[in-house]
Amino acid sequence: MAERLRKGWRWDPVKDPVKKLNPTLVPWGGSEPASPSSPDGLPENERKKDRDAVRAIPELLSETGSDSSCANVVVLPAT
């Protein structure tokens, strides 16, 4: 989210890549809105997509032959 904000993206209920507007440009956990007019937090279906992407990382790394072992790995609970 920080990268998009630095590149000029803003929250808007309607996605418009040309105008750099996106309805999912909100904090993941919902503690603070990205802008005064944005909703509080990312919808659960979008949060699930994020969790699924993170859970896929070890398999993707193993397919490339990379070592996915790390002392600081955090395993997200399935929901």
Q: What is the pLDDT of residues 11-64, one digit of tens each?
A: 888 999 999 999 888 776 654 544 555 556 777 888 888 889 989 988 888 887
Supply the range of the domain harboring residue 36.
2-63
Structural domain contains residue 72: no
Please give the model's pTM, rounded to 2 decimal places: 0.52
pLDDT reported for residue 63: 82
* 75 domain-assigned: no
Residue 79 domain-assigned (yes or no): no
pLDDT at residue 8 is higher than 90: yes
Q: What angle do CA 4, 61, 64 make, to 5 degrees?
A: 115
Instruction: Classify residue 18: in a domain, yes or no.
Output: yes
Tokens linked to 9: 């993206």
Query: How many domains does the chain divide into?
Result: 1
Buried (b) or exposed (e) across 12-44, using 16+ Cβ within 10 A? beeeeeeeeebbbbbeeeeeeebeeebeebbee
Using a 10 angstrom Cβ sphere, with 0-12 exposed, 13-18 middle and 19 or more buried, the burial of residue 11 is buried
